[in-house]
Structure 1
Amino acid sequence: MSHDLLAELAGYRNELAGAKARGSARADDIAAEVKRVTAAVAERAADLTAEAKTHQDAGRDVAAVAALSEARRLREALRPAPARKTGGK
C-alpha cells in the first residue's frame, strides 16, 4: 500500500510541475490532490510508527524495525526535493 501512495504522490507532483510550467488552470486542482495524498502518506507513517510500538511491546523486534523503517521511508518521501543546480555557461 505504501508503494502505491508514493507512486501516486510522485505522479501528482510531476503533473503539478508540468501544469505550473504550462500555466495550466488545473494547477490548483492538482495541488489539492498532492495535499490529499501527502496527508495519506503522513497518516500511514504514523500508523506504522504505532504498529512498531505494538510489535516492540510484544517482543517482535524484527517486525518493529521493519515498520519503523517503512515509516521513515514514507516520511523521507514527504520532504521537498533539493533544488537542482544548473550548469553555468
Structure 2
Amino acid sequence: MLKRAFIWVWYHDNFRFPFVLMGGHLLFTLPPILFLAKLVNLELHGEDIRTIALMLVTLMYLLALTYNDYSNLRRIGLDEHRSPLKH
C-alpha cells in the first residue's frame, strides 16, 4: 500500500516539479532538522543552514536520479503517460 502511494506521488509531474526540481521539499525537511539541532543545543548560523539546505537538495536530486524509471507506474496500473493500462 505504501509502495503504491509512493509510486503514485513520486512519478506525478505536479509533485516532481515544485518539490524536487524547485526545492519545495525544503519547506518540510529543513524546519524539523533545525528543530532537532536546537533540541541538542547545536548552534547553527547562516552558512551552516545553507550547507544543510544544499545537502538536502543534493539528496533529493540523488533520489530523483535513482527513482527515475517511469515504467514503475505499470505496477499501479498506469502507463508512462499516467493513462490506464489497456488489457
TM-score, L = length of structure 1: 0.36
- Which structure has more RCO (C-alpha within 8 Å, separation ≥ 6)? 2
